Amino acid sequence: MNTITKRNKWTYSVGCIGRDMIFILVSMFMLPYIQYTMNLTVAQFSAISTIMIFSRVWDAFNDPIMGMIIENSRLKGGKFRPWVMLGGVSNFAITILLFLVRPTGWAFVLFFGIAYIAWGMTFTINDIAYWSLLPNLSSNNDERNELTNLVLIFASIGQFIAGGLIPILVTGNAVWMYKVLGISISFIFLAFTLLTYFGVSERIVVEEKQGKVNLKKMYSILFKNDQLIIVAIALLLYTIAIELFMAFGINFFYFEFGYGGVQLTIFTVFFALGSLTALLVFPFLTKHYKRMKIMGIGTLISVIGYLSFLSLGYLIPMNEIILYTSAFFIFFGLNLFFVVLVVMTANVIEYNEIKTGERNESIIFSIRPFMTKLGAALQQAIVTLVLIISGVYVYSQQIADLEIQKSQGLLQEISSQANVILSSATPKMLLMLRIGMGLIPMISIVIAYLLIKSKYTITEEKYDQILIDLAKIKLDK
């Protein structure tokens, strides 16, 4: 049973900061960037959303293929690290282009379609390779729990930095500030990619010669592993829960509190604190409770947060303290749920090895981004429908006109005019935003928990026995 070195532990986990900063920039703020800084018709905006949905579905199906490519690779720099570097450098360049190049009308739609699909594919290369490194660095159950938790802590820091600063920095001068942030965050991502590449040393795993993995074998690995299928569905539902809440966030806060971004930044601080607190207490909880119990606690706490959020302005008066507290509860619970789910996914690798004699780390870990991107595609479809049907998009285009005039020097201050536009929103419009942001996510996470509770069978005891059995098999050989 191999153990992890301090150098690997810290350079691997800290490297996640830049990855999550650039991911939040594009996944959470690309649509608001387009919505509030580009003058597009409903047809053009719908085309943009369709491209985003297609790109995420394509990326989802591309993930296992990328996993297969990595699984078959034997490069000089290692099995995983060269792909981390290749994906990181190419994604760095494309992200800068996404925020610098601004053609208008259908020309922008065409440019965006090419650049956004390329962005997703290059991030996939980096993402699959990065997560495939995790089980390579340690097979010790406690160390793997600790490493997973540490990675998610630094991921939360990256999410907090990007998610907290972007709303307050861009509002009122969005065209220029998105350019500045796009370049800055891209260079930060590149720096952390270099840290991971040069800092981490891969463990050389001696495996039986198992031949190249082809498409037929890849899908056999994915769909004949019953535990992997359960984890995959839970990941899809979790993604819908967390992505919808964040995707509607900027619109919700603009329409509820005005065109400022301050409340969204405070909200981001509280959800980051909730995330970090969950990850800090997770090691303590693992010493006293089994993973399934921890997942149940996380689900319950997140549901309490969702119910509080949904009640504000309807059953109880809108109150910022309760709003921020609900964010803390939601993300505390969701992160407890997710860290358990990541460990469960990692443990499927040894389960697969005892069943088939092959580890196939890259293919198995490709299921996480695969389902994440499918969930993101569903989220994008829901968000687009709500924005168009509710009328929110029409309002946001009026604000986009103001932002464009500000960038051209025609206006000095636009907040007061933007607030006049936002204040004319109807109660029905606000209710649709609330349902999309709170009710659908809450239902999704409850279903995910019930599925894992009833169908996932790799308990701590079973996993330890699998490791013992694998050790015996290797000794016999």
Q: Is the pLDDT of residue 262 over 90?
A: no
Beta-bridge partner residues of 78: 75
The residue type found at 128 is: I
- pLDDT tens-digit readout, 13-28: 999 999 999 999 998 8
- For residues 13 and 213, what is the distance between their CA atoms, to the nearest angstrom? 29
Comparison of pLDDT for 152 and 277, the residue scoring more? 277
Comparison of pLDDT for 402 and 358, the residue scoring more? 402
Enumerate the domain spans of the chain. 12-200+211-476
Q: Which of 239-243, 245-249, 435-439 has the lowest mean pLDDT?
A: 245-249
What is the DSSP secondary-structure string of 36-59? HH----HHHHHHHHHHHHHHHHHH
Q: Are 182 and 170 in contact (CB under 8 A)?
A: no
Give 472's pLDDT tier (boundaries 50, 70, 90): confident
- For residues 249 and 19, what is the distance between their CA atoms, to the nearest angstrom? 21
- pLDDT value at residue 14: 93
- For residues 226 and 367, what is the distance between their CA atoms, to the nearest angstrom? 13
- pLDDT value at residue 362: 67
User: Exposure of 86 by Cβ count < 10 A (0-12 exposed, 13-18 middle, 19+ buried)?
Assistant: middle
- For residues 246 and 367, what is the distance between their CA atoms, to the nearest angstrom? 22
Nearest residue to 155 via CA among 269, 61, 19, 246 = 19
Q: Is the pLDDT of residue 293 over 80?
A: yes
> Cα angle at 290 between 5 and 149, to 5 degrees?
35
> Taking residues 384-398, what's their average pLDDT?
91
Averaged pLDDT of the chain: 88
Q: Is the pLDDT of residue 211 over 60?
A: no
> Taking residues 77-97, what's their average pLDDT?
92
The alpha carbon torsion through 287, 154, 22, 64 (nearest 10 deg) reads -40
- For residues 45 and 106, what is the distance between their CA atoms, to the nearest angstrom? 10
User: Exposure of 41 by Cβ count < 10 A (0-12 exposed, 13-18 middle, 19+ buried)?
Assistant: exposed
- pLDDT value at residue 205: 58
- pLDDT value at residue 213: 53
Query: Which percentage of the chain shows pLDDT scores above 70?
Result: 96
- pLDDT tens-digit readout, 89-128: 999 999 999 999 999 999 999 999 999 999 999 998 998 8
- pLDDT value at residue 212: 54
- For residues 257 and 418, what is the distance between their CA atoms, to the nearest angstrom? 12
The residue type found at 374 is: L
Q: How far is CA 243 from CA 141, 191, 225, 372, 414, in A?
A: 29, 27, 27, 9, 29
- For residues 28 and 52, what is the distance between their CA atoms, to the nearest angstrom? 12
Give 54's pLDDT tier (boundaries 50, 70, 90): very high
Q: Is the pLDDT of residue 1 over 70?
A: no
- pLDDT tens-digit readout, 161-178: 998 889 889 888 889 999
Beta-bridge partner residues of 334: none
SS3 (DSSP) at 312: strand
Q: Is the pLDDT of residue 197 over 80?
A: yes
Give 260's pLDDT tier (boundaries 50, 70, 90): confident
CB atoms within 10 A of CB 446: 17
Beta-bridge partner residues of 316: 312
- pLDDT tens-digit readout, 352-370: 888 877 777 767 777 777 7
> Taking residues 50-72, what's their average pLDDT?
84
Give 52's pLDDT tier (boundaries 50, 70, 90): very high
Q: Are 352 and 127 in contact (CB under 8 A)?
A: no
Q: Are 51 and 117 in contact (CB under 8 A)?
A: yes
> Taking residues 180-195, what's their average pLDDT?
96
Q: Give the N- to C-terminal CA distance of the chain in Å, as an integer.
A: 17
- For residues 31 and 386, what is the distance between their CA atoms, to the nearest angstrom? 13
- For residues 273 and 430, what is the distance between their CA atoms, to the nearest angstrom? 27
Q: Is the pLDDT of residue 129 over 60?
A: yes
Give 350's pLDDT tier (boundaries 50, 70, 90): confident
Q: Is the pLDDT of residue 143 over 60?
A: yes
SS3 (DSSP) at 138: coil
- pLDDT value at residue 153: 85
Q: Is the pLDDT of residue 208 over 60?
A: no
- pLDDT value at residue 189: 97
- pLDDT value at residue 473: 82
Q: Are 239 and 370 in contact (CB under 8 A)?
A: no
> Taking residues 347-351, what's their average pLDDT?
85
- For residues 168 and 183, what is the distance between their CA atoms, to the nearest angstrom? 17
**CA 252 to chain CA centroid, nearest Å:** 20
- pLDDT value at residue 112: 96
- pLDDT value at residue 116: 96
- pLDDT value at residue 42: 92
> For tokens 């952390």, what's the residue?
192
> For tokens 């921020």, what's the residue?
324
- pLDDT value at residue 351: 84
SS3 (DSSP) at 329: helix
- For residues 34 and 30, what is the distance between their CA atoms, to the nearest angstrom? 6
Q: Is the pLDDT of residue 149 over 90?
A: no
The residue type found at 116 is: Y
Q: Which two tokens stand for residue 260?
A: 């400022």
What's the pTM? 0.80
- pLDDT tens-digit readout, 299-336: 999 999 999 999 999 999 999 999 999 999 999 999 99
Q: Is the pLDDT of residue 236 over 80?
A: yes
Q: Are 245 and 438 in contact (CB under 8 A)?
A: yes
> Cα angle at 352 between 458 and 130, to 5 degrees?
95
CATH assignment of 12-200+211-476?
1.20.1250.20
Q: Is the pLDDT of residue 474 over 90?
A: no
